[in-house]
Amino acid sequence: MQSHSFHSHLLTHATFSDQIVMSKVSSDADCWTHVLAKGYCSQKALLVLYANYKKQSIHTINSLSIDPDFNKLCVSKLADPESIIGLYQTDSICCIASSDPFLNDIKHIEKIFKRKVEIKLVFPEDLIKFKGYKVENSETLLTKILKMAIQKGASDIHLLNSRDKLTLWIRVDGILLDLLTLNKEDAEHLKKLIKLKANLDISEHSLPQDGGLSVSVNNKEWDIRVSTLPTYFDEDIVLRIFNNNKQLSTLNTLGFEHNITHEIRSICQMKSGLFLVTGPTGSGKTSTLYACLNECVSSTKRVVVSLEDPIERQIPNVRQSQVNSKTNYTFQKGLRAILRQDPDIIMIGEIRDQETAIIALEAAYTGHLVLSSLHTSDVQSTWRRLLHFGCDPFLLSYCVRGILSQSLKPEKCISCRGLGCQKCHFKGLSGRTPQAELLTMKDHNKVYDLSKIDDLISDQQLMTSKDKIWA
């Protein structure tokens, strides 16, 4: 451990000492990143601690001399130009401003300009405003937020209001990370722009709204699902990110064990019945359903129709329909209409209510293969939910071909083996792998007593491993 280092200084600070010792980080740079990633304090507060320790000043943007040509050159040369302002260069130094004294780009800058780098410290909010995050540049701000989130592999962006600011979080591999903070004025312009682009009513603040927009980032197309929610401090907004360029998953690429993949493929080739995919939000249910649809249309010529809210990916040879609450086009109405379209296979994005559940079950009973999802945590609770919806126990036992309950388990970061590093934002985790349990009921002529579902599954259990399969 270094003596007279910022790391050592933080170890004497009661707020951080235990956490830093447990994290096993030792360098100043890793310590800085670890404290921010864990949310022990804000970047502004940490910067003040660092500046006081180093006896350095924190400058205002107006007090600095900025060479526009040098700043433009820095922006064009660096991979992450949003973290610095190029101030000026002399024969011996390059002077930059940043709110991060441990920039990853320092060595890169020294290599490019062949000069030693000198950093002037500025508060993060001042840096943000200078870089174009201004009221009149809300379009630029939105583009940069989306770009930063996508580069970090985020699935969602949360815009959360408090009394005097808007905090932005991103979710990466199921874990929430800080992105940036905006003042109320800039936040209002940003939220208005998002609602305009998502075709939402910008004058409506008291009711939830749902919409979507498409953006191009790094020459790739991305769909963004927008959801607003009235809260005590104004509207919160969540953006869900979908990669249009990502290849559609197949059953083989979902990551399930071979025996589960084989059973799902067998169900997809059946002529009738009900197959349900269950799990919490963000567990990959839609990806599994889309992989099943892909399997259905590639294996043989059949009429495949889906009813979704919303359509997340376009699938070749699948007739996809999206419900719309504004026009009163509901799952129930859409499902009844689909049954008049002579379908072989029907995919219902989610069974949310009694009427949809009963229609889906009747469709499975009358010769259609029906695929759908439920928000339940395991196989047993799925049966109980269907019974709670009022589904006929006879039809359930006769029509259900399989129930797949899945979740995504975080994996240890391969770079640090779970200890925490910059690549995994000091969480020790990077990426997720699917975990699943599967119940198959192939003998549809046998009627089961579903009131004793736990005994049924126990009697049916053939194999238990990392993934479970009952048949």
pLDDT tens readout for residues 417-432: 777 776 776 677 788 8
Which of the four pLDDT bands, split at 50, 70 and 90, describes residue 158? very high
**Is-contact 305 321, C-beta < 8 A?**
yes
Distance, CA of 230 to CA of 20 (rounded, Å): 38
What the block records as the tokens of 435 is: 């975990």
Residue 367's pLDDT band (cuts 50, 70, 90):
very high
Q: Is the pLDDT of residue 463 over 60?
A: no
pLDDT of residue 42 exceeding 50: yes
pTM: predicted TM-score of the whole model, two decimal places: 0.69
User: What pLDDT, on the 0 to 100 scale, is given for residue 310?
Assistant: 85
Confidence of residue 464 (pLDDT cuts 50, 70, 90): very low
Whether pLDDT at 23 is above 60: no
Q: How many CB atoms lie within 10 A of CB 451?
A: 11
Domains in the chain, start-ordered, CATH in brackets? 21-131 (3.30.300.160), 141-242 (3.30.450.90), 258-464 (3.40.50.300)
Q: Which whole number is the average pLDDT over 54-70?
A: 89
Residues in the chain: 471
Mean predicted confidence (pLDDT) in 344-362: 95
Overall average pLDDT of the 3-29 stretch: 64
Q: Give the model's confidence band at 1: pLDDT under 50 very low, under 70 low, under 90 confident, else very high.
A: very low
Q: What angle do CA 111, 114, 116 make, to 5 degrees?
A: 95
Q: What is the pLDDT of residues 143-153, one digit of tens each?
A: 889 998 998 88
Which tokens is 228 given? Answer: 């607003």
pLDDT tens digits for range 162-197: 988 999 999 988 888 888 888 888 898 899 899 988
Distance CA 351, CA 291 (A): 18
Q: What is the pLDDT of residues 392-414, one digit of tens each?
A: 888 888 899 999 999 988 888 88
Is residue 230 within 8 A of residue 208, CB to CB? The reply is yes
Determine how β-strand 345-348 pairs with β-strand 304-308: parallel
Mean pLDDT of all residues in 191-209? 87
Q: Are 106 and 83 in contact (CB under 8 A)?
A: no
Position 62 scores a pLDDT of 84
Percent of the chain exceeding pLDDT 70 equals 86
Q: Which of 215-229, 236-250, 268-282, 449-463 has the highest mean pLDDT?
A: 268-282
Grade residue 462 by pLDDT with cuts at 50, 70 and 90.
very low
